[in-house]
A and B are shown apart, each in its own frame.
Chain A
């Protein structure tokens, strides 16, 4: 008789736990969604405003990234380098990663300044230069 008295109490406890399961499911689904769709932001952007384009080719992260700000500050793989130091720094990196280079230039940089950097990249031996842009929806 005492056993029958205890059973409803056990069932009520189990029901309260069951109510939490959908909530936990939703939290985990949200977590998985953000892990898959989001990307952890690692890039030090040096205050850049990248140019926009409707280009459909997605950018692939390259081991060598050069950032050029509108004040003509150069960051090579997130380290500030002067224009004079750039050729040597590029040569060292090219030995480690013989790959393409990604250039993130501010949209207000003029071609005069970009050309100096591109010439240095060409002299260092990079065959393909990827100019990074922000993707916009085609109008």
Chain B
């Protein structure tokens, strides 16, 4: 009884970049994550645009592979919050992008 634990764990599942590239040939959409947890548009058209939940649902396709690119100093708690937020909005194929030698991440 004393060694029992009632802590409940959950898992945020991510497809690795390798798997995402083999699953779909569709070009992934990019969402950037700032250190303070703000989601910003990536890619050419939405670069730097702050994305609210409504904007995420309307401007991005939930069934397209999505790459979340956190800034290098972003803490894991902020990343988990962003991943949970995207999953809650219906984005099913979310993966974390690789950091480039600079700061921004490149898939």
Residues of A within 8 A of B (CB): 31, 34, 37-41, 50-60, 102, 105-112, 114-115, 118-119, 121-122, 125-135
B residues near A, CB below 8 A?
Answer: 1, 3-19, 70-77, 79-81, 83-84, 87, 96, 98-99, 105
Task: Report A-chain residues with C-beta under 8 Å of the C-beta of B5.
Answer: 38-41
Chain B proximity of A59: nearest CB distance (Å): 4
Q: A121 contacts B16, CB within 8 Å?
A: yes
Q: Is the CB of B76 within 8 A of A130?
A: no
| Residue contacts A-B, CB under 8 angstroms, 9 given | A37-B4, A51-B79, A56-B10, A106-B76, A110-B73, A115-B98, A118-B96, A125-B18, A132-B11
A residues in contact with B7, CB < 8 Å: 134
Instruction: Say what secondary structure dominates the interface of chain B.
Output: mixed
Number of CB contacts from chain A to chain B under 8 A: 135
Q: Which of B4, B13, B17, B99 contacts A130 (CB 8 A)?
A: B13
5 more A-B residue pairs beyond the given contacts A51-B77, A110-B74, A130-B12, with a C-beta to C-beta distance below 8 A? A57-B13, A106-B76, A107-B75, A109-B75, A133-B80
Beyond A59-B11, A118-B96, A122-B17, is A111–B84 a contact (Cβ under 8 Å)?
no
CA distance A39 to B80 in the complex (A): 25
